[in-house]
Structure 1
Amino acid sequence: MSLTPIETIFWDIGGVLLTNGWDRKQRTRVLTALGVNLDAYEAVHDEVNYYWERGLMTAQDFFQRTVIETNPDLNLTFEQLWPLVCSESKVLHQESFEILATLKSSGQYRLATINNESKELNAYRLDTFQLRQYFSYFICSGYVHEMKPLPDIYRAAIDISGLPAETALFIDDKLENCEAARAFGMNAVHFESPAQLRASLTHRGIAV
């Protein structure tokens, strides 16, 4: 436990508050129902996703490259695909929202996000699940052009916070992302469940 008081709490979104945005299970479910050749999709996904999740490519261009061009016989359009992609996002842990709301109402901490997401899907999720009311700012890979667990996204978070890294606490469901935050001098909680998160915050003297 750090002796330095926590001033900023950074939250991951997918896996802590909401389901992931467009992970392998989600795309398998959506694309299989459409008759998309999954092998052809996965053959290009990683290469194209590198640019999309870093905000260097639009959603329309991403799905043109990964789905429409690899399955020309299906005559799919982006307008058909995008609502199906968005519909995969759901609340994962309502209790996590309750913890977040308690921290917000306390007024003791600055709340922000550090998440890997494309610009368009991030905006959809912030609006649909009313996340903007909780957070002061958003360190999203689609905005800062780098992804967890690489150090530049944590550097951006700390620089934008204007506060020392040791005053920040990061919550994420992936251990490697927490380890990367700690390597940058931040505190971190590896999220496993809302109950475990509540206990970890309480242990650090953060009332929830």
Structure 2
Amino acid sequence: MNKQTTNIKAIFTDIGGVLLTDGWNHESRREAALHFHIDPADMEERHHLTFETYEIGKISLEEYLNRIFFFQERPFSMDAFETFMYQQSQPYSQMIELIRRLKAEYHLKVGVISNEGRELSAYRIKQFGLDSFGDFFVSSGFVGLRKPDLAIFKLALDLAQVNPDQIVYLEDRPMFVEIAEKMGMHGICHTDEASTRRQLKSLGLK
């Protein structure tokens, strides 16, 4: 099968774990606790109580940080903490270039579906040039929906105007892959570049 015969018209992809490292996961918060000398148990409790509210755009990053850290005086500024937070994001350059190449060679639509707060998502999209190949970004912080809600996948389908069986969905979380497959998409549970390339090749995307 070659690019003339492949049935695939679009790629949907997650950001964290596929194109970039996770933006603000447990490891990043642990590093923050060490760097800024914060009680990690208190931080984690406060994080879990309010992070989903931030992730679906109900509060700003500033309000999230006020609830987690700046409810009391700190020997560091919010700007310093935000800078540290953004610096946790690093690219998976080979995966970015793979998606960029496939889009160009096969004239694919690229939709990005991610669970990320508004400010963090906007930073990551611009900082790593994801907007240079992504056609639309269905970020939880932008649309007020988050995976595994079916509505966020349906929104991406509406934006793409492509049949589910013509879409490849790249994701590092098995549950979300399963949901995409039940909706008729070709799911690839991303673990590493090599295995994802093999699975894409089996769908005609070489």
Q: Give the TM-score band, short-chain normalised.
A: over 0.9
* Number of the residue aligned with 1:38: 40
Question: Tell me, which stretches of 5 or more residues in structure 2 are unaligned?
Answer: none
Q: CA deviation at 1:206?
A: 1.3
Q: CA deviation at 1:98?
A: 2.3
1:14-56, Cα deviation, whole Å (9 max, x unpaired): 1111110000000110122101111111112122111111111
* Number of the residue aligned with 1:153: 152
Moved over 4 A (4+): none
Q: Which amino acid aligns with 1:8?
A: A
Question: Tell me, which stretches of 5 or more residues in structure 1 are unaligned?
Answer: none
1:67-78 pair list within 5 angstroms: 67-69=69-71, 72-78=72-78
Return closer, same or farther for 1:4/1:103 CA change in 2, 3 Å cut-off: closer
* Number of the residue aligned with 2:113: 114
1:130-171, Cα deviation, whole Å (9 max, x unpaired): 111011111111112111122111111111212222222110
Query: Does the Cα contact within 8 Å between 2:57 and 2:144 map onto a contact in 1?
Result: yes
Q: CA deviation at 1:80?
A: 2.0
* Number of the residue aligned with 2:11: 9
- How many residues matched? 202
Task: Report the RMSD for the aligned CA atoms in angstroms.
Answer: 1.7
Q: CA deviation at 1:67?
A: 1.2
SS at match of 2:99: helix
Q: CA deviation at 1:4?
A: 8.7
* Number of the residue aligned with 2:193: 194
Amino-acid identity (%): 26
8-17 vs 144-153, which deviates more?
144-153
* Number of the residue aligned with 2:90: 90
Q: CA deviation at 1:185?
A: 2.3
Query: Does the Cα contact within 8 Å between 1:4 and 1:166 map onto a contact in 2?
Result: no
Q: 1: CA distance between counterparts of 2:201 and 2:106?
A: 16
Query: Does the Cα contact within 8 Å between 1:150 and 1:180 map onto a contact in 2?
Result: no
Q: 1: CA distance between counterparts of 2:184 and 2:10?
A: 13
Query: Does the Cα contact within 8 Å between 2:6 and 2:205 map onto a contact in 1?
Result: no
Q: CA deviation at 1:107?
A: 4.5
Tell me the TM-score normalised to structure 2 length.
0.92
